Structure 1
Amino acid sequence: PTLAAGVNTPSRRVVVRDWRRYDGEFGGMKPLDVLEVHQMCGRAGRPGLDPYGEAVLLAKDHDTRDELFDRYVYADPEPVQSKLAAEPALRTHLLATVASGFANSREGILEFLGNTLYASQTEESGRLEHVTDSVLDYLDVNGFVDREAGSITATNVGHTVSRLYLDPMSAAEILDGLRDAEEVTPLGCYHLVCRTPDMYQLYLKSGDREEYTELFYERETELLGVAPSEFDDVAFEDWLAALKTASMLEDWAREVDEDRIAERFGVGPGDIRGKVDTAERLLGAAEQ
């Protein structure tokens, strides 16, 4: 998935070793989508860096080779389906639309959205209007936009959030955590940004809940914001997953050996680097 989504590193050759992935809903190993494999192969040969690119799909035998040609080389990619009406996507896009001055009213926003791919595909009447109103309410309540006499403008905070390409929900989490903070520690900051939608948290494995519940009570005073009840399983587990991720960042900041971090948290060097980069971006945004 990382390669398909795009890796900002030069690559002349891409080798796709496995073309199936486990899918719980499918009930076993499911072939990758054509579009995903094409995306992977398209990473080979970066413009301005390589004169050409090579993509290799590995087949174990002749029958598999023929199947791979039929499935991925000769086949057309699946139709693209817009996800614009999902609130996480629309939060960012609506704030950017208002902050850039592209639209400054509900009617203007809906007119703009009415010309998108989603609008041409959807058969759900009123769906886009409903989600738009919900997102505008969220942006208003959290101080990212002002609405007055039918006009919608971005606040100073809203402009900053849009300029930093933050999910407004991430910005709201950070602002809420810092608002009443009396003393801020590194772990508290790490944990705060690890609770945001922009950070992919580490999973809690077997035995982790007990370990990080104990750590939570040991260092509870350092954590920013209001902790959920331990009896709210989903919310409390998310809180602990953020704490586990924050602990990994704390080890990295203390210059703990990378191999020890990888072993302790069950991650690879790329996972560590990715989370460090995301944390740096979010902490920089929090500072602003």
Structure 2
Amino acid sequence: MDSMLPLQVLVSTSTLAWGVNLPAHLVIIKGTEYFDGKTKRYVDFPLTEILQMMGRAGRPQFDQHGKAVILVHEPKKSFYKKFLYEPFPVESSLKEKLHDHFNAEIVSGTIGNKEDAVHYLTWTYLFRRLMANPAYYGLEGTQDETVCSYLSRLVQNTFDDLEDSGCLKVNENSVEPMMLGTIASQYYLCYMTVSMFGSNIGSDTSLEAFLHILAGASEYDELPVRHNEENYNKTLSDKVRYPVDNNHLDDPHVKANLLFQ
């Protein structure tokens, strides 16, 4: 093919389809599943990723319109039709990550006590969705007393967990960050990770033990282990200094350990 001719057809992996900035008139998504190495099965792409791939079709500066075709199994056809033509409600995921947000705000001085934390929550998308869809978050209604009680319990439980992990100290009328909490905030670490480090790492910790502790951090939960990659990990495990669990070579934390070594 002449190198001066424009590219007419591109067959790509999903990874390339998410990230590359290649405008196209027609995008065809051949299947909506991918192989998950952690669970060893095929799972559906998140809907947001399907939209990301479809978004490559029809860039305004290049084309007046674009087309997207999704090839999917018949049982899922109606679902994708509904997904594409009707809006889905977007709910908040803040509750699952609230500990790390609270810790960062306490370290920065934005939150100094429980009242500040409750006030902080009233400015979040979580609060807006809580009022709009209370049942989704386990509330029976949106009466002031019910909502205030829910927010107070949420703050108290979060503070208790952060205190148990050594990230902050709860006083009678205030909260103050501890060293572990400051480290977690500065380096964007999960509060459970720094708690685990603080409990297991000491001045006499060996390098081998330190590697196992470091690789055990929750930040490596999502380290991708691809199909059949355990075979490569087995080869690596025979070459490194410190042994790993050869029964779990498809585990992301074992892979992290091997890569560190």
The TM-score range, normalised by the shorter chain, is 0.5 to 0.7
Alignment of 1:28-47 (within 5 A): 34-42=47-55, 44=56
Task: Tell whether 2:209 aligns with 1:199.
Answer: no
What is the rounded CA distance, in whole Å, between the counterparts of 1:69 and 1:98 in structure 2?
43
1:111 paired with 2:123, answer: no
C-alpha RMSD of matched pairs (Å): 4.6
Match of 1:166 among 173, 183, 189: 189
Question: By how many angstroms is 1:99 displaced?
Answer: 1.5
Q: How far does residue 162 in structure 1 lie from its aligned partner after superposition?
A: 0.8
The 3 A distance-change label for structure 1 pair 154 and 71 is: same
Partner of 1:57: 69
Task: Report the Cα offset of residue 32 of structure 1.
Answer: 6.2
Q: Which deviations, in whole Å up to 9, do the C-alpha atoms of 1:81-111 show, x marking residues without a partner?
A: 112223xx01111111212222211001111
Q: How far apart, in 2, do the equivalents of 1:109 and 1:16 lie?
A: 44
| 1:142 positional shift | 2.6
Is the 1:12–1:52 contact (alpha carbons within 8 Å) kept by the matching residues of 2?
Answer: no
Report the Cα distance in structure 2 between the residues aligned to 1:69 and 1:106, rounded to whole angstroms: 44
Q: TM-score, normalised by structure 1?
A: 0.54
Specify which structure has the bigger relative contact order, considering alpha-carbon pairs within 8 angstroms and separated by 6 or more residues.
2
Q: Report the CA distance between 1:140 and its aligned residue.
A: 1.8
**Offset, 1:148:** 2.8
Unaligned ranges ≥5, structure 1: 23-28, 224-236, 255-288
Q: Residue 134 in 1 paired to residue 142 in 2?
A: no
Number of residue pairs the alignment of both structures matches: 206
1:143-171 CA deviation, whole Å, 9 max, x = no partner? 22233341222233322211211110111
Q: Does 1:19 align with 2:57?
A: no
**Contact 1:191 1:242 (C-alpha < 8 Å) held by counterparts:** no
1:99 to 101, 107, 120: 107
Q: Counterpart of 1:81 in 2: which secondary structure?
A: coil
SS at match of 1:179: coil
Kindly name which structure, 1 or 2, has the bigger radius of gyration based on alpha carbons: 2
Once the 2 structures are TM-superposed, how far is the Cα of residue 132 of structure 1 from its aligned partner?
Answer: 2.0
1:120 Cα deviation after fit: 2.7
1:228 aligned residue: none
Q: In structure 2, what is the equivalent of residue 26 of structure 1?
A: none
SS of 2:156 mapped into structure 1: helix
Answer whether contact 1:37 1:72 (CA < 8 A) is retained. no
Structure 2 gaps of 5+ residues are 1-13, 36-41, 140-145
TM-score (norm 2): 0.58
The alignment status of 1:154 with 2:177, answered yes or no, reads yes
Report the CA distance between 1:252 and its aligned residue. 3.9
2:10 match: none
Change (3 A) 1:199 1:10: same
| In 1: Cα distance, 2:198 partner to 2:249 partner | 17
Aligned equivalent of 1:76? 86
Conserved in 1, the CA contact under 8 Å of 2:32 and 2:72?
no
Contact 2:167–2:178 (8 Å) recurs in 1: yes
Q: Deviations over 1:220-246 (max 9, x none)?
A: 9x89xxxxxxxxxxxxx9xx7599545
